[in-house]
Structure 1
Amino acid sequence: MNARDDAALNRPSHAPALWRDLRRFTDARVGLGRAGTAVPTAAHLDFQEAHARARDAVWSALDVPALAAAIGLPVTLVHSSAPDRRTYLLRPDLGRRLADGVTLPHAPGSVALVVADGLCAIGVQRHAPAVLQRLLPMLPLPAGPVVIAEQARVALGDDIAERIGAAAVVVMIGERPGLSTTDSLGLYITWAPRRGRTDAERNCISNVRPGGMGYDDAAAKAAWLLRAAQGLGATGVALKDEMPATALPAP
């Protein structure tokens, strides 16, 4: 980049067309410019605000009554072994197993559906009901109980599904917030779930939100992966996502 480009980049209202065009396709911080050896003040303040929002999102909590009402189906409420948010963040292992005394309905051969707060309850609150409503009619197996789990890690779904007797589990969980989004939902699909399963034994659909993967596409991919897992008898590294691709939407 030459001196003329540098000067143009330092004037946000006269940013080069290359950067303006690139910003149409990404929320990433590109072409911020610079002021001496640092970024401009506006960009620095924007970064600090985004970082604060991400920290707040990690500490967000589910509004369980509102979430259950938005789902519109009977739900079972459970809690992990982490008694509070601070313990959950400091002890990931406790978020992977159910609290003592939890009872769950038995539904052998079903798909257990777990809606969990994870690291970003905001994303779950906003997006999980819409994805669930689209996914239910597409399931290749009977739908099991819908379980809302608090202080949950992904692996908590294995513990839940094993007790239900489910053939598979779909965990809809809040993803770790970043500097460009604080409301991202992830879907984790595991065949023959049981305690002790590893992340290599599940498939993940990430960045589900209006600014990422849309609800319809996420539900369709989850249903495709479940059908493929049923035929293969496995998920994770054994199951390759070969679902036919669709055209990308225009920016």
Structure 2
Amino acid sequence: MSDKIELPDQWHKLKQFTKARVALGNVGTGLPLTVVLALKHAHALAKDAIVTKLDIEGLKKNCEELNIPCQVFKSKAHDRLEYLKRPDLGRRLDLSSNSIDFGKADIVFVITDGLSATAVNKYAFEVLGIILLGITKKYKVAIALVEQGRVAIGDEVAELYRADFVAVLLGERPGLSSPESMGVYTTYKPKLGLTDERRNCISNIHSDGLSAIQGSTLLKYLIDRSFALQLSGVDLKIEIGDILENKKSV
């Protein structure tokens, strides 16, 4: 009989705090089959997320239920392969006419697929539904649905609406722990040619990240502060922990 004592894996306790692949165990010099299959499955979900499509009809229905005007656009990327190869085309709108008048909006919310339409289809109106009622009492709001869009496309959409503020809700690059993570990028006084230091970002809205309530709380904060200070981006200092903690205490 061996006198060898098996010590507990000191890394195992970390599994309750992270989705990172730690304390996976081993079979000889390799990984357990269940771990290998789980990794392959996560990889497949991430690949599938990139090619999912924006649920235009479902999102339009949500807009109608909230009585928010909605327009559908496409970027200059004609298909998904071109979208992935040419990020620049995903930043510009494909407009058949530049003389269309979309009216004036104070705030335009741009909902676009990004790299995971699954995330946007699932979480966009979970976030917006919490704050739209209050916002529409103070601001004129419009929603734009954009197929094959990237973050900067919000600037061009905002110019069409002569909007003072744009929030772009899009699917973030899927990872092996979350294929359906949504981000929100906000800009005050958006216009074509702006660079990313003029934007604020709310990232990782998904089931294991920020909740819809937390995401909407941060979005409402950015709207209020951007209009109050008339700026956005690196000059707008935010303490995310303090904001969310204050929300809990209300």
TM-score (norm 1): 0.86
Match 1:116 to one of 112, 115, 128: 112
CA distance in 1, matches of 2:186, 2:208: 22
Match 1:216 to one of 194, 213, 216: 213
CA distance in 2, matches of 1:3, 1:46: 30
User: How well do the aligned residues superpose, as a CA RMSD in angstroms?
Assistant: 2.3
Partner in structure 2 of residue 168 of structure 1 = 165
Is the partner of 2:114 in helix, strand or coil? coil
Do the aligned partners of 2:214 and 2:244 also contact (CA within 8 Å) in 1? Answer: no
Partner in structure 2 of residue 128 of structure 1 = 124
Match 1:65 to one of 40, 54, 57: 57
Deviation at 1:154, TM superposition (A): 0.6
Partner in structure 1 of residue 77 of structure 2 = 82
Partner in structure 1 of residue 45 of structure 2 = 53
Is the partner of 2:6 in helix, strand or coil? helix
Unaligned runs of 5+ in 2: none
Partner in structure 2 of residue 204 of structure 1 = 201
Do the aligned partners of 1:120 and 1:175 also contact (CA within 8 Å) in 2? Answer: yes
Do the aligned partners of 2:218 and 2:243 also contact (CA within 8 Å) in 1? Answer: no
Residue type at the aligned position of 2:88: D
CA distance in 2, matches of 1:104, 1:205: 30
Is the partner of 2:31 in helix, strand or coil? coil
Alignment of 1:1-251 (within 5 A): 4-5=6-7, 19=12, 21-71=13-63, 72=65, 73=67, 74-101=69-96, 103=100, 105-108=102-105, 110-139=106-135, 142-242=139-239, 244-247=242-245
Unaligned runs of 5+ in 1: 10-15
CA distance in 2, matches of 1:121, 1:227: 28
Percent identity among equivalent residues?
Answer: 37
Deviating beyond 6 angstroms after TM superposition, the runs of 4 or more aligned structure 1 residues are none
Is the partner of 2:239 in helix, strand or coil? coil
Do the aligned partners of 1:122 and 1:174 also contact (CA within 8 Å) in 2? Answer: yes
Residues 94 and 104 of structure 1, relative CA distance in 2, 3 Å threshold = farther
Q: Deviations over 1:151-189 (max 9, x none)?
A: 000100000001210001011111111101111111110
Do the aligned partners of 1:88 and 1:151 also contact (CA within 8 Å) in 2? Answer: yes
Q: Deviations over 1:105-157 (max 9, x none)?
A: 1215x011111111000001111112111121343951321111100001000
Moved more, 95-104 or 73-82: 95-104
Is the partner of 2:24 in helix, strand or coil? coil
Deviation at 1:104, TM superposition (A): 5.4
